[in-house]
Amino acid sequence: MVKITFPDGMQKDYEKGINALQIASMISPGLAKKCIAVKLNGVIRDLTDPINEDASIELLTSDSNELQDLINHSCAHLLAQAIREIYPNSLFGVGPAIEEGFYYDVDLGDIKLTEEDLVKIEKKMRSLAEGNFEVVKKVVSKAEALELFKNDKYKTELINDLEESALITVYSQGKFMDLCRGPHVASTKWLKNCKLLSVSGAYWRGDAKREQLQRIYGCCFIKEQDLKDYLVILEERKKRDHRKLGKDLELFLFSEYGPGLPFWLPNGYTLRRTLEDFWIKLHKDRGYVVINTPIMLNKELWETSGHWDHYKDDMFTIEVEDGTYAIKPMNCPGAIQVYNNGLHSYKELPLRYAELGNVHRYEASGALNGLFRVRGFTQDDAHTMLMESQVGEEVKRIISLYDYVYSIFGLNYSIELSTRPDDFIGEVETWDAAEAALKEACLSTGHDFKINPGDGAFYGPKLDFKLRDSMNRIWQCGTVQLDMQLPGRFNCKYIAEDGSKKTPVMIHRACFGSLERFIGIITENYAGVYPLWLAPVQARIVPVNNEYHLEYAKEILSILQEQGFRVELDDRNEKMNYKIRESQTKKTPYTLIIGDKERDERLLTYRVHGSNESVTLKLDELVDKFSKEVKSFGK
């Protein structure tokens, strides 16, 4: 017998090997029909998994808010089932759930899917969902799995990566069978509210030298209204696409002569420089010194740092007369050269170097995506050299800095702690101590965190800051990486209190992550309507009639520009309403209208972006208003 504990604390004995679906049926046949999965000892499992020991269970129905990943992953299998029925010779890569949906990588030979094909596949998926196919789990040996999937080279490759003794789970629904660890819904009936969103190319296992598959993206919800609401959000996101806004607002461009290398137009460069100035002042006020290091350095430096062994395939290199040089993919070795330029005392530590460093990394052309994924970008890096005893306090300072910065842009965040990877350098004990220090710093500042096992950098564990924007998307931006390896590789030393030479610890950290990506994120977050302090053009002056009002408009332009505001004058011979509409289209925060009253009484009338209401006030009052708004960062 096994003792089952229910959420209300009630306990009951059942025969060993019983499953959650059978338990639900004993309670009520109606409940069994509503069950989608079970949480067994806190872990979501298949309803049909046998229970062979005492356990706590929670039967999960459509009212649960914990099933979204399960629904999406199950729908990926439904997509594969539909594709196999339409394209019998199809082969399948992997089909995981992702942050907001799922994808499946498929090989359809010479067939290239179109939007019309997605509609056809989606229709078949809904038909299969209506068929209410039972999803059946089976455990097989490696040899049995190889036999089951002998006609699919991708599944065969995945199976061959497993140990000979591995027990492998496969799931079937109708005539379709897939290789998967699960868990899954008990029936396809829960997958009716599905939508295919797009298709793109994806290399098998992320290797540009391997086959290119077609990656089909989709989403699925238990409730129809949730799907409708999500599709509305997607439409809003299209309007906010930073690539579209970048063109409309004349911020940046990309050229075929430099894929993944953004060109900053005047408005975009103003936006970028405003962010850079904000960043530099912020860091100087907090005890950082600002440096700049070369963009290209000798291969020997990258071999010493370990980047050559771990990162050379993603680096751009060039041969010159004294050897091989690499365009830097990281700023940290350069910061170490600055530190080693002199001898340092423990009294100087922590020593904080801040650098807006231009770096380059090779990204496959298919992965490039506006400012979100580029080949050349600016990391807002800082590298702090300190004693091991100072790590906890320094990480707390950094988290406090991030709290301040992200709040200015209206971005909430969560933290993930990425631990020791398989290809780490250094000692396990050192890694354990570093991970413990990061955990303590998070908790002591009131921040919870999620463990991301094995995803640390090769030289140390890290904290990743996941930002959530106004469209409810998650972005990886900030990071804090604790490094107890690199300073030793470069023989970094400081004079300790007892006169001995010791190796400092190094903290790598970036707040924006990259300037380019962060600009893309906030552009979409604000829908292009930047707060006054950040807007490339803060105000646009529109004279009602150039013949009568242009002279006063030019005077206002001169005064506001002298006060440091970014103001433009629209003196074209166009109708006033046309120029006002265009100012709104360009998302200018303030449109200043100059007519007879404004000229005669030395006043200004303004409209805030998105509003038809006009407000009239004196020039000095407007200057005071702008000044306060800029200083408060638009809060």
Residue showing tokens 């094995």: 454
CA distance 329 to 237: 31
Higher pLDDT, 437 or 538: 538
Let me know if residue 388 belongs to a domain: yes
Mark whether 474 and 390 lie in a shared domain.
yes
Is it the case that residue 635 has pLDDT exceeding 50?
Answer: no
Query: Can you give the CATH number for the domain in which 46 is found?
Result: 3.10.20.30
Let me know if residue 284 belongs to a domain: yes
Q: Average of pLDDT values for 567-596?
A: 94
Is it the case that residue 633 has pLDDT exceeding 80?
Answer: no
Query: Can you give the CATH number for the domain in which 441 is found?
Result: 3.30.930.10
Mark whether 292 and 416 lie in a shared domain.
yes
Cβ atoms within 10 A of the Cβ of 443, count? 11
Is it the case that residue 366 has pLDDT exceeding 80?
Answer: no
Q: Average pLDDT over the chain, rounded to whole?
A: 91
Let me know if residue 197 belongs to a domain: yes
Q: Average of pLDDT values for 52-68?
A: 91
User: E strand or H helix at 552, and its extent?
Assistant: helix 546-562
Give me the domain span that covers residue 273.
267-296+328-525
CA distance 34 to 47: 12
The answer to whether 533 and 546 have CB atoms below 8 angstroms apart is: no
Mark whether 491 and 613 lie in a shared domain.
no
pLDDT, position 437:
87
Let me know if residue 420 belongs to a domain: yes
- For the chain, what percent of residues have pLDDT higher than 90? 71
Give the type of residue at 631: K
**pLDDT class for 365, splitting at 50, 70, 90?**
confident
pLDDT digits (tens, 9 = 90+) for 156-212: 999 999 988 888 999 999 999 999 988 999 999 999 999 999 998 888 988 878 899
Distances (CA, A) of 122 to 78, 103, 128, 324: 10, 13, 10, 52
**pLDDT class for 315, splitting at 50, 70, 90?**
confident
Task: Tell me, letter by letter, the H, E, C secondary structure of 373-434.
Answer: ECCEEEEEEEEEEECHHHHHHHHHHHHHHHHHHHHHCCCEEEEEEECCCCCCCCCHHHHHHH
Mark whether 37 and 84 lie in a shared domain.
no
CA distance 527 to 19: 50
Mark whether 566 and 444 lie in a shared domain.
no
Mark whether 133 and 80 lie in a shared domain.
yes
Mark whether 227 and 345 lie in a shared domain.
no
pLDDT, position 23:
92
Query: Can you give the CATH number for the domain in which 205 is found?
Result: 3.30.980.10
Mark whether 446 and 557 lie in a shared domain.
no
pLDDT, position 280:
96
Mark whether 506 and 543 lie in a shared domain.
no
Let me know if residue 145 belongs to a domain: yes
Is it the case that residue 634 has pLDDT exceeding 60?
Answer: no
Q: Average of pLDDT values for 107-134?
A: 94
Is it the case that residue 295 has pLDDT exceeding 90?
Answer: yes
pLDDT, position 166:
86
User: E strand or H helix at 479, and its extent?
Assistant: strand 474-483
pLDDT digits (tens, 9 = 90+) for 443-461: 988 898 888 888 888 778 8
Select from 37, 60, 83 the last residue of a domain.
60
Distances (CA, A) of 404 to 398, 441, 535: 10, 17, 20
The answer to whether 161 and 182 have CB atoms below 8 angstroms apart is: no
Mark whether 489 and 556 lie in a shared domain.
no
pLDDT, position 307:
84
Q: Average of pLDDT values for 98-125?
A: 93
**pLDDT class for 80, splitting at 50, 70, 90?**
very high
Residue showing tokens 């925060």: 589
Select from 15, 34, 60 the last residue of a domain.
60
- For the chain, what percent of residues have pLDDT higher than 70? 100
Let me know if residue 447 belongs to a domain: yes
Residue showing tokens 């991708």: 154
Mark whether 363 and 342 lie in a shared domain.
yes
* Catalytic residue positions, numbered: 332, 361, 379, 381, 383, 462, 508
Tokens of 5: 């504990």
CA distance 251 to 266: 7
Is it the case that residue 143 has pLDDT exceeding 80?
Answer: yes
Q: Average of pLDDT values for 300-305?
A: 88
Let me know if residue 480 belongs to a domain: yes
Q: Structural domain tally of the chain?
A: 4
Is it the case that residue 470 has pLDDT exceeding 80?
Answer: no
Out of 174-188, 216-230, 336-350, 434-448, pick the least confident.
434-448
pLDDT digits (tens, 9 = 90+) for 260-279: 999 999 999 999 999 999 99
The answer to whether 194 and 57 have CB atoms below 8 angstroms apart is: no
Mark whether 75 and 224 lie in a shared domain.
yes
- The per-residue b/e assignment along 161-190, b for 16 or more CB within 10 angstroms, e otherwise, is eeeeeeebbbbbbeebbbbbebbbbbbbeb
Q: Average of pLDDT values for 467-493?
A: 87
Out of 100-104, 155-159, 208-212, 626-630, pick the least confident.
208-212
